Structure formats: C-alpha cells, structure tokens
Structure 1
C-alpha cells in the first residue's frame, strides 16, 4: 500500500491497462487461431468432403439405373438400352475421377470402384448381347448373370463403404470444430474471469491508495479551513505520486493566497476611501448631467423652431423654382411662336414682292395696251374718215355707187363701234392702271411693313431668347437655393438627431451615474464585508 505512493497514478493505470491489454490480446489470439483452424476445416468440408460425399452418393444412386438399362436391353431385346448403359457407365467413371481429384486420400477407393465398374459394365453388356443373340446356352447365361450380380453387389459395397467413410470424416471434422470452439469458449470465459478478478483487485488497490492519500490531504486542508484561518500552516505529505504534486501545488496556492489576503487587507482601507470619493463624484456628476440635460432640451427646442423656419424657406424656394420653370417654359413657347411668326412674315413679304412684281408687269402691260388702243383709235378715226369719203364718192357715183355706199356705211358704223369700244377699253385701262398703281404702292407699303414686322419679330425673338436665358439662370439659381436650403434642412435634421442622440446618451449617463452611485454604496458595503472576511485569516 505504501509502495503505491512512490508509483505515479498515471503509471498505476498504465500498468492496469497493460494487464488488461495482454489478457485481451491472449484471448483474441487464441480465438483467432481457433477460428482460423475452424475456417480451414469448414473450407475443407465445403470444397472437398461435401463434393466427394455428393459423388459417392451419386455413384451409389446410379448403379440401380445401370442394372435396369442392362435388364431392359435383355427383356426388350433393344440394343439402344446398351448405349444408354454405356453413357451411365461413363458418367459414373467421370464422377469417380472427380471424387478422386477432390479427395486425394480416398483416391484409391474411387479408383477401385472405377475398375470394378468397368469390369461389371463390360461383362454385363456382353451378357446382354449374348441374351439378345442367344450365343450361349441358358444355363451358361444364368451362371454368368449370377456372377455379374455378385459384381454389382460388390460395387454397391464399395460405394457404400466409400460414402460411409467420407460421411464419418465429415462428422469427425464437424465434431472437432465444435470441440475446439467449446474449448475456446471455456478458455475465454476462464481468462475473462481471471481478468475481471485481477482487474477488480488491482483497481481496488489503486483506488484504496488514491483515496487514502486524498483523505490525508483533505484532512490537512480541513484543519486549515475549519481552524482560525492560519495561512502560515502547510500540508506535509511523503510520496512521489500525483498526490505529492497536488500537495505541492496546494501549498503554493496557500502561500499565494496568504500574500493576496495580506495585500487585500492593506488595500481594503484605501478602497473604502476611494469608494467614498467615487460616491461623492457620482452625485456631483448626476447634478451636472441634469443641468446639462435641461440646456440640451432648450437647444433642441431652438433647433426645432429653426427647422420650422427652414422648412418654410424650402417651401418658398420650391415654389419659386416651379414658377421660374413655368416662366421659362412660357418664354420658350413665346420665342417659338415669335420665330414661327417671323418666318410667316418673311414668307408673306416674299409673296408680296412676287405680287408687286406681277402688278408692275401688269401696269407695264396695261401701258402697252393703252398705246395699242391709241393706235386702234387712230385707225378707227382714219377708217371713219375713209368711210365718210367713200360715202361722199358713192353719192357722187349715183346708182353705181349705192352698193359701195352701203359698204362704206357699214365700215363707218364698224369704225364708230371700234372707236367707241376702244374708248371704253381705254377708260377701263386707265382705271386698271390706276388700281394697279395703287396696288403696287400698297404692296410697296405692305412690303416695307412686313420688313419692319420681320425686323421687330426678330428683335422680339432675340429679346425672348435673352428672357429665356435669364429665366433659365434664375431657375438654376432657384434650384441651387432650394438644394442649399434642403441641405441646410437635412443638416439641421442631423443636428437635431445628434442632439436627440446626445439627449439619450445624457439620459443613459444620468442612469449610469445613478447606478454608479448605487454601486459605490454597494462597493462600500462590499469593502466592509471584505475587511470583515479578511480579518478572519492569520497572515
């Protein structure tokens, strides 16, 4: 028991593990060996004995069929049954050869069977042919049949003996495997029992040693804890196991605890003073924070009023921007209308120029027509004079000039009509010339007016363009004002948000300060309790 103190607990458990491992390996090795031998036997049964036994059973079962074929050939005098008998004989010989290959230790038995089978088959076949062809006497054939039946019985005896020997070998192999398995199970149970007993004894010894050592250390620590708190006492333990290391660490801990308690006793008074000052500072901080919170609320209220004013400015700037944009649109529309009007006036002026040119050409043509009419009037006057002279000459001629007088009258009437028509046409031409001249003058005045209108329209368009430019500038300025005002509004909102956050932080600080004051009071109580607790130790 004392020896366990000088052996490490780790090595004690390692020793226990080695004992368990060695026992388990022994059991496993033994079971593996027995399992291997059993597997080899089972493989032999599967690959050799069972196939050989099947061949032996087949040989024994086919012999009656072979005899029946020979009997059928004799009774029915059918040589085809002999062919079937030869096929059965060959099948039996093949099975005997396979059995000899599968189970070499019984190869001689299979060969004896094959040799006897060949002899029997040859003699039975010859006897059947002799019966069919009546090559011998009946007595001789009966004697030969009796001998062949004896050979068949010998074949049955050989096959039965072979089958029985193989069956006994199979049973013996199975019994051997079962015996070894039972033996392995018994040995495993025995070794398991020994292992359990050894494990229990060893575990109890280790547990008792560890428990006794721990009880010793616990008793020493209980004496320190339940006494007057003497931190100068140390635990004494003789040993080299883990308990010795534990005792050493506990002594180091007690020594460190002694230093800490001593330092705690020295620091508790200072901590009490600090807690008192901290409580006083927390009260002052709480008062200042309340005053600061009131000021922040005033600033927040002022910022809110400023935000209201800025919002009105934003609304006015937005309204001015919308009106400037509307004026800009109207100015652009007016400029577009003026441009269209100027283009129409220029087109009208061009048409007036064309019409004036046509009227001037018409006036020139009417002047030409007037000269032509003058010529016509002169011709008509000359014709009238000639007609008058012709009438005078016709009157002088008397009866001979009567027809000429009629013609002269007609010519005179025609000349008179021509002169009258020419006079009317001349009057119309004069009136037309006056009207054309008036139209030309009116067209000239309209052309001057249209030119002046085009000039004025261009000046109006230029003025509207300048107005549009100025309105666009005003619109841009209004947009900049609106953007700046909106930015100022957002900035003011951010300032108000920051003030709200600062108010929340101030409230949190106030709450934290209140908690700090409470904690300071609790700290004072804890310091008092700490002083009371540390005073129980002897350092």
Structure 2
C-alpha cells in the first residue's frame, strides 16, 4: 500500500467495490440459475410425473371398476368404456416412460401387466355378456386377475409415493438453495464491504495525515518561526509521499540558499562601497575618453574624404582599362584575319609554284622532242642529199626525183631552222620558269614568315588583352575595396559619434548607479533581517 499512488489507491477501493458487486451478482446469478433449473425440472418433469402417477392410479381403479360392473351387469357398453379407459391408462404410462427414462423398465413392466390385466378382465366380462362362461376355468382367471390387480395397485401406489417424494425433495432443495444463496450473499457482501471500508478508511487517513503534516510545516514556515532544519516524514511512494520528498528537497535547497545568502551579504555590502569608488574613477575616465573620441571623429572624417578620392581614381582607371581591353580585342580579331589571309596566300603560292615546276618539266620534255625532230631533219637532209646524188646519176630520168629531193632537203633545212628557233624560245622559257620557281620559293618563305609574325602578333595581343583584363579586375577590386573602406569609414564616423553620445549617456547612468549602490546597501541590510527569521 505504501508504494501505491493516491489514484491507484482510489482505483483499488473502486476495484474492490466492483469485485464485491460482481461477486454478489455472480453468486446471485449462479444460485438463480440453479433454482431456475430446479424449477424447470419441477415444472416440466416432477410435477407432470406426480400428476400422471395419481391419474394413472385413479384410471387403473376406474378400469377395474368398469370391468367389474361389466361382469356383474353383463353390459357391453361398460366393457367398451373399460377398454377405452384402459387405452387411456396405457397412453399415460407411455408418457411416464417418456418423462422418466431412468425408470422406463419398471414402467414398461407395469404397462405390460396392465395390458395383461385388461385382456383377462375383458375375456371374463365378454364370456359373462355372451353367457358362455366356463366355470371350471374362470376361477383361475379371476385369481390371476386379482393377483395382477393387487400387484399393479401396489406398484402404482409405490410409483405415486416416489413421484410425490421426489417433488417434495425438489421443493425442499429449492428452498434450501434460496436460503443458502441469501446467507452466502449477505456474508460475502458484508466481508467485502468491511474490506472496502477498511482500505478506504486507511487510504483517507494516510492522505489526511500527510496533507495535515504538510500544511502544518508550511504554516510554521509562513509564520517566520519555523526552522529550515525540520523535514516532513515520508510514509510512502504515493503522490503525497512524492510531495513530502520534493518539499524536503525544497527546504534543503532553501536552507543551503540561506546559508549561501548569509555568506554573500557581507561581500555584497563591501562590493557596494567598492562600486561607489569605482564609479568615481569611471567618471574621470569617461571625460578623457569623450575628448579622445572627438579627436578620432575628426581624423576619420579626413580619412573618409581621402578614401573617396582614391575610389574615384580607381573607378576612372577601371573605365580606361576596360576601353583598352576593347581595343586590344579588336586588334586581336584583325590579327586573326591577317593570319587567316596569310595562310590562304601561302597555300596559293605553293600551288602556283607546283604549276610552274610542272611547266618547267614539260619544257624539258619539249626540248627533248625538238632534239629528236632536229635529228630526224638532219637524217632527212642527208637522205635528200643522197637522193639528189642518185638522181644526178640517173640523168634525165631522175630529174623529177631530184626536184623532190631538193624540196625535201629544203624542208628539212627549214625544219631544222624552226627547231633551232623553238629551242631558243624554250631555253628562254625554261630560264624564265627557273627564275619564277626561285621567286615563288622566296614568296613562299616570305608568306610563311608573314604568317608566323601575324600569329606571334596575335598571341602578344592576346597576352596584352589578358593583362588588361587583370588590370581591369584589379581596378574593379580596388574600386570595390575603396568603396567598402568609404562605407567603413562612414560607419566608424557614425560609431564614434554614437560613442561620444554613449559617453554622455554614461555620465547620466553613473548618477543612477550611485543611487543603485545606495539601494544595494539598503537591500543587504534587508537580507540580513530576512535571513535572521529562519534558523539554519
């Protein structure tokens, strides 16, 4: 119980109440169910059995009476009535067999005996009605009938008594169950109620005691007569136990705080006096710093003007560098164009040189051909000369052939002369081609040098352009830096102005600090008075 919280204790009481109620209800339901079963058996089995037992006994006697009257009066109607009553008797015995399966053998025996009794009685009555009675055998039939009647009557009486006894015992058991259930529920309810009341009373006393102790301790502390060394007793781990533990921890902390406070009061008073002296020295220092801050403000204003001039110059240099960068970029583009055209010119000169070299080769071939033609002309001339000699020898007959030979020789001479002239022209052409080839080689070398120089010029212009970009970047950085320095100097000027204002405000605050030091001394005296109210 000590380790349970208040909520758990309350729930324990409620749980016991619920268990008590549930137990009483369960017991009531149990005994009610048993009584209902007994009552149902009484209504459906015992009462019906008792009623049928009495009815069977009465019907059997009525059957016997009707058979006796039928014999006495020899009346067939009485015989029919007796047989009808006997059928009703046998049907009721069958119902008893259905209701009492445990006693079915006994009841079937009774049913067989009743049927045999009715059969014998009906034969005797019918013989008397018909007037054919055999008195030699009727005596024995009557004796058998009488014996069956006595046995059946005894058995019907016994069965009726058993049914009545069983019905009476069921009623007595039902009454006993009801009485036992009433007594058991009263005892159980009383025990559970006493247990619930005991636990509730114990829980309420514990809660009330803990709350009262806590209230007394707080009242004692509030009156200023309490001792910080006193502690609340802790009786358990419930909420009030936790409150008592936390309260004791709070008192312990408060006791420690008052002890620390007592040790702080004297240094606090001394600190208040030292604070007053320090404020005097701070006043003198503030005056000196105010004068220095005014000098710094004036110097920073002059520096701000200088930084603005530097920033303007850096901005102009950045613009000039940007213009130079644009011009160098244009020069680089022009140089690239010159290099491109130089490369094209060099290629054209190389192609022309190739064509002229080919022409020189063809001229050499033509010279060889003309040499062959000249040799052929010489041979032709020699042959014409031989022909002329042979024609002269032939005389008149060879005159025509001589004319032809003269013409052939004249033609060979002209051919040789023409070949000589062509050879002179080809020689001159070959000399010119050789000269042109030499000049083209020179032109190719010049074009290559021009291309190389243009390429070198483009690279230098590119380097100049890169240097200009670096200069432009540096100028931009210088301009940005000087701009930032200008803003910084403006901020510094503003801060020095604020610092000057702060010094003025500090003088005002110093007056307030003097007042605070006085109040601090008064406060230390009050703390001494308050701490003296509690014993530590």
The residue aligned with 1:100 is none
Is residue 366 from structure 1 mapped to residue 366 from structure 2 by the alignment? yes
Is residue 173 from structure 1 mapped to residue 186 from structure 2 by the alignment? no
SS of residue paired to 1:461: helix
The TM-score with structure 2 as length reference comes to: 0.53
Counterparts in 2 of 1:193 and 1:460: CA distance versus 1, 3 Å:
closer
Distance 1:410 1:75 in 2: 188
Q: Deviations over 1:196-245 (max 9, x none)?
A: 9999x999xx99xx79x979x97xx9xxxxxxxxxxxxx9xxxx999xxx
Is residue 60 from structure 1 mapped to residue 54 from structure 2 by the alignment? no
SS of residue paired to 1:171: helix
The residue aligned with 1:514 is 508
In the alignment, is the contact (CA less than 8 A) between 1:363 and 1:437 conserved in 2? no
Q: Deviations over 1:24-50 (max 9, x none)?
A: 9xx99x989987985895586378666
In the alignment, is the contact (CA less than 8 A) between 1:331 and 1:468 conserved in 2? no
Superposed displacement of residue 522, structure 1: 7.0
Alignment equivalent of 1:123, drawn from 109, 114, 122: 109
The residue aligned with 1:228 is none
In the alignment, is the contact (CA less than 8 A) between 1:321 and 1:479 conserved in 2? no
RMSD of Structure 2 on Structure 1 (CA) = 6.6
In the alignment, is the contact (CA less than 8 A) between 2:52 and 2:96 conserved in 1? yes
Counterparts in 2 of 1:31 and 1:423: CA distance versus 1, 3 Å:
closer
Is residue 160 from structure 1 mapped to residue 146 from structure 2 by the alignment? no
Superposed displacement of residue 364, structure 1: 1.8
The residue aligned with 1:308 is 308
Counterparts in 2 of 1:202 and 1:482: CA distance versus 1, 3 Å:
closer
The residue aligned with 1:440 is 434
Superposed displacement of residue 445, structure 1: 0.9
Of residues 466-475 and 369-378 in structure 1, the stretch that sits farther from structure 2 once superposed is 466-475
Superposed displacement of residue 513, structure 1: 3.5
Superposed displacement of residue 308, structure 1: 3.0
Distance 1:326 1:313 in 2: 20
The residue aligned with 1:4 is none
Distance 1:65 1:347 in 2: 147
Superposed displacement of residue 448, structure 1: 1.1
Distance 1:198 1:182 in 2: 24
Of residues 511-520 and 51-60 in structure 1, the stretch that sits farther from structure 2 once superposed is 51-60
In the alignment, is the contact (CA less than 8 A) between 1:332 and 1:468 conserved in 2? yes
In the alignment, is the contact (CA less than 8 A) between 1:377 and 1:419 conserved in 2? yes
Of residues 519-528 and 456-465 in structure 1, the stretch that sits farther from structure 2 once superposed is 519-528
Superposed displacement of residue 316, structure 1: 4.5
Matches within 5 A, 1:98-497: 114=102, 117-118=103-104, 120-123=106-109, 126=112, 136-138=120-122, 153-154=160-161, 156-177=163-184, 179-180=186-187, 291=291, 294-316=294-316, 318-319=318-319, 322=322, 344=344, 347-348=347-348, 350-379=350-379, 381-382=381-382, 396-397=396-397, 405=400, 427=421, 430-462=424-456, 464-466=458-460, 468-469=462-463, 472=466, 475-476=469-470, 479=473, 482-483=476-477, 486=480, 490=484, 493-494=487-488, 496-497=490-491
Superposed displacement of residue 365, structure 1: 1.8
Distance 2:520 2:107 in 1: 119
Q: How many residues align?
A: 428
In the alignment, is the contact (CA less than 8 A) between 1:278 and 1:520 conserved in 2? no
Q: Deviations over 1:260-319 (max 9, x none)?
A: 89x98xx89x96x986x7787676666556555544543453454344344335534544
Distance 1:448 1:341 in 2: 18
In the alignment, is the contact (CA less than 8 A) between 1:359 and 1:439 conserved in 2? yes
Distance 1:62 1:389 in 2: 191
Counterparts in 2 of 1:526 and 1:465: CA distance versus 1, 3 Å:
closer
Superposed displacement of residue 173, structure 1: 3.2
Q: Which runs of 5+ in 1 are unaligned?
A: 1-23, 94-113, 222-234, 535-539
Distance 2:51 2:311 in 1: 123
SS of residue paired to 2:180: helix
The residue aligned with 1:13 is none
Counterparts in 2 of 1:157 and 1:307: CA distance versus 1, 3 Å:
farther
Of residues 180-189 and 350-359 in structure 1, the stretch that sits farther from structure 2 once superposed is 180-189
Superposed displacement of residue 444, structure 1: 1.1
Q: Which runs of 5+ in 2 are unaligned?
A: 1-9, 60-85, 126-144, 233-250, 529-536
The residue aligned with 2:79 is none
